[in-house]
Structures are given as C-alpha cells and as structure tokens.
Amino acid sequence: MQFLPFKQKFLGDHFGENNMPGFRLSGSPRSIAHFLGTIIICLLCAHAAGLVLRLGFGHDVVHGLVPLFNVDAEGNLPTFFSVCLGLCSAALFALIALDAKNRGDRDAIYWTVLAVGFLFLSYDECFQVHEKMTGPVRAMLGGSDPANGAQLGLLYYSWVVPGLIGVFTASLFFLKFMLRLPPATRRRMLLAAGLFLSGCLGMELINGSVMESQGDSLLYNLLVMAEEGLEMTGMATLIYAMASHIAARCDRLEINLHADTTAMVRQATPAQCTGAAARTTSS
C-alpha cells in the first residue's frame, strides 16, 4: 500500500503545466490484510505486556499505558481500531451496494443492509449498546441477584441470548443472497463471519462462565485476549474479502479529492469503477 503522486488530466486542462499535485492511494487486498494484521498483532502484544505488568507486578496504570492497550476496557486504542474496522467494512459494503444499484442488481438491498448493519456495529462497539441488555436478560433468567444463589454459567453475559437470536435471524435473511455470491467471496465472507462470531459470541459464553466462577483471573484475561483477537481478525478478514470482491469486478477504483473551485468541481469525477479488459486479480 502506497501513496503515488499523480497529475489529474482535468487539472492540466484548466491550470496548464503548473498544475496541482494530487495523491492516489494504491494497494492490493493482500497488502491491506497484512497492514491490518500487523496492527492486530501489535495491539494484542501490548495487551499481553499490560497483563504481565498488572497481574504479575501489580502495576495497573504505568503512566496510562496499561489501560490504553487493555482490550477488555473501553475508550482506548483497541476500541478505536475496532470501530475503524467496522466503519471501513460499512464503507466497502456501501460502495458495492451503489454499484449493484446502478447495475439494477437485485442484491443491492442486501449490500445496503450489510452497510447499515456494520455502521450500527461500529456504533455499538463505541458505546457498548449490547451490554445494556445484560441486566434485563439476566433478571429474566433469575441470575440478577447474587443473594438468590442462581448460577448462570455460560449465560453470565446474558446479552448473548438476544445476540444468538439475532445471528440466527440474519442467517435466514442472507441465506439465498450468500448462495448467489461468487464462490471466492462467499468463502471469505463465511470465514470472516466464523472468526468474528466465534469471538463475540462463542468466547463470550466461555468468558462469562469463567468470570462467574473465578473473577478477574489470569485465565479470564487470556480468554478475553483470544476473544478480541478473533473479533478483530474476523473484521480484517471481511475487509480483505470485500476489497478482493471489488478488485475482481473493477480494474480501478479512484476517489479524487480536490479544492472546491468551480472549474475543478465541474470536471471532477468523485469515484470511478471501470471494468476494462485488464482486471486486477484478487489476492
């Protein structure tokens, strides 16, 4: 992935030889995946170092660095990165939805729903909306009052109950759409969904049981690291899948940013997706 300087033709038409320089973001789906994977590994290593400092040496803050990289905390770098992953996924789904709508593709509605859904997931990651369901659902399951001796075990984080229902409903809604996707895109999307859901729901079930029985133990913190790692890897895999899907359909995708002058606005093309003969091979 690199920024390549270039001179746009419409600028040369209006400003002559001394035209204004621009920048083009160029990269392959594989390079994007490597970039995101590197960030994920760095965040998890920083969290692991924080665990050693916090649980091994009793240093809970260390100039704010421990909570800054704690994947089980909110409002820090891992949360910001997860929100960015969700927003990037929503943006890619929106691009595909616009292209599908322009072509009259009946699946445009599904791409649009995915774009809106991942926009909500980003909002939820930022403000932890799903966790607000834990109290009411836990009360319905009879485990909200520790005095009554109720042990919820796997359902200690009780928001997973409506979460599982939501996943089942979404699976039925998207079933025919998934079957119509190109095989490579379908495989990658299913892999991404498997990684993400095994983290946010599968590991959450296990983490709840461990938290209820052991509290904030080393085992619990290691499981949380695995959970967050799976979630971030799933989102990164989804971005790779969507970037590969776009690369397989378009030989070029450009977004031109320019000064707001009348001549430039009249000539600029905000986004281009051309299907020339020389197609980019998805990695």
DSSP 39-74: HHHHHHHHHHHHHIIIIIS--S-TTTHHHHT-TTSS
Angle between helices 77-102 and 218-249 (to 10 degrees): 30
pLDDT confidence bin for 111, thresholds 50/70/90: very high
The C-alpha atoms of residue 37 and residue 198 are separated, in whole angstroms, by 18
The C-alpha atoms of residue 237 and residue 81 are separated, in whole angstroms, by 14
**Cβ-based neighbours of 247, under 8 Å, separated by 6 or more:** 28, 29, 280, 281, 282, 283
DSSP H helical segments within the chain, as ranges?
9-15, 29-51, 65-68, 77-102, 108-127, 134-140, 160-180, 183-197, 204-214, 218-249, 262-267
Compute and round to an integer the Cα radius of gyration of the chain.
23
Q: Which residue has the tokens 């709508």?
A: 101
User: E strand or H helix at 254, and its extent?
Assistant: strand 252-255
pLDDT confidence bin for 278, thresholds 50/70/90: very low
pLDDT digit string, tens, across residues 214-269:
988 999 999 999 999 999 999 999 999 999 999 888 766 555 656 555 444 444 44
Instruction: Please say if the pLDDT value at position 88 is more than 90.
Output: yes
Report which of residues 66 and 280 the model is more confident about.
66
Contact of 87 with 119, CB cutoff 8 Å:
yes
Instruction: Please say if the pLDDT value at position 21 is more than 80.
Output: no
Instruction: Please say if the pLDDT value at position 72 is more than 80.
Output: yes
Q: Structural domain boundaries of the chain?
A: 28-270
φ, ψ for residue 27 (rounded to 5)? -175, 160
Amino acid at 117: G
Q: How far is CA 228 from CA 43, 56, 58, 67, 121, in A?
A: 10, 21, 23, 15, 14
* Least reliable range by pLDDT among 83-97, 125-139, 158-172, 224-238: 125-139
Q: Residue 140 CA to chain centroid, in angstroms?
A: 31
The C-alpha atoms of residue 148 and residue 157 are separated, in whole angstroms, by 18
**Cβ-based neighbours of 100, under 8 Å, separated by 6 or more:** 107, 108, 111
pLDDT at 122: 95
